[in-house]
Amino acid sequence: MLASSRRLSRNLADLIKTVNVLSDKHVGLISIKENFDLSTPTGRLMLQLCGAISQFERENLLERQREGIEIAKRNHKYKGRPMKAFDGDIKNNVLDEVVNKKITVTAAAEALGVSRVTVYNYLKHYNKENV
């Protein structure tokens, strides 16, 4: 949670829970980088302030990211993860067999080394191209 090479938690509530668990086990925690000791009231206040600021920054970053993705989608620039590349002939042969009911989607997924969902996604594009 705190800006360091290691994160103590993902959010403020988790940070407080982690510190309480450590405290219940009589474990002291001293932040060398931020220079505070959690055995003092000032140290606990500083930890909560730093944690709250870190969570605020993270939530703002995620909000900006979501806004950017929405704008990219509206402009048709965001298309998600690209499809896994295969030799077109091999993939088309396997998809032909699925369409002609010679093999199952499960068998096609195993042959291509992908999930069944991926095969169904390929079939959507394959059917559009071959109509």
The pLDDT of residue 29 is above 90: no
Instruction: Place 86 in a pLDDT band, splitting at 50, 70 and 90.
Output: low
State what percent of residues in the chain have pLDDT above 90. Answer: 24
pLDDT of residue 3: 43
Q: Which residue has the tokens 């302030």?
A: 49
Residues 92 and 67 in one domain: no
Q: Is residue 59 part of a domain?
A: yes
DSSP state of 43: H
pLDDT of residue 107: 92
The encoded tokens of residue 126 equal: 């394959």
Domain that holds residue 116: 88-129
Q: Is residue 4 part of a domain?
A: no
pLDDT of residue 106: 94
Q: Is residue 22 part of a domain?
A: yes
Residues 20 and 57 in one domain: yes
Residues 103 and 53 in one domain: no
Is the pTM higher than 0.75? The answer reads no
Residue 59 host element (H or E): helix 41-74
What are the b/e assignments for 35-71, b being 16+ CB within 10 Å? Answer: ebebeeeebbebbeebbeebbeeeeeeeeeeeeeeee
Residues 106 and 61 in one domain: no
Each residue of 54-74: pLDDT tens digit? Answer: 899 999 999 999 999 999 989
Residues 61 and 109 in one domain: no
Q: Is 11 exposed, middle or buried (0-12, 13-18, 19+ CB in 10 A)?
A: middle
pLDDT of residue 125: 77
Helices then strands (H, E): number in the chain? 5, 2
- Average pLDDT on 37-52 reads 88
Range from 16-20, 65-69, 78-82 carrying the lowest mean pLDDT: 78-82
Q: Is residue 29 part of a domain?
A: yes
Residues 38 and 70 in one domain: yes
- Average pLDDT on 77-88 reads 70
Residues 70 and 93 in one domain: no
Residues 66 and 101 in one domain: no
How many angstroms from the chain centroid is the CA of residue 81? 13
Q: Is residue 44 part of a domain?
A: yes
Q: Is 103 left (phi over 0), alpha (psi -120 to 50) or beta?
A: beta
Q: Is residue 40 part of a domain?
A: yes
pLDDT of residue 4: 44
pLDDT of residue 5: 45
Residues 93 and 122 in one domain: yes
Total number of domains in the chain: 2
Beta bridge partners of 37: 30
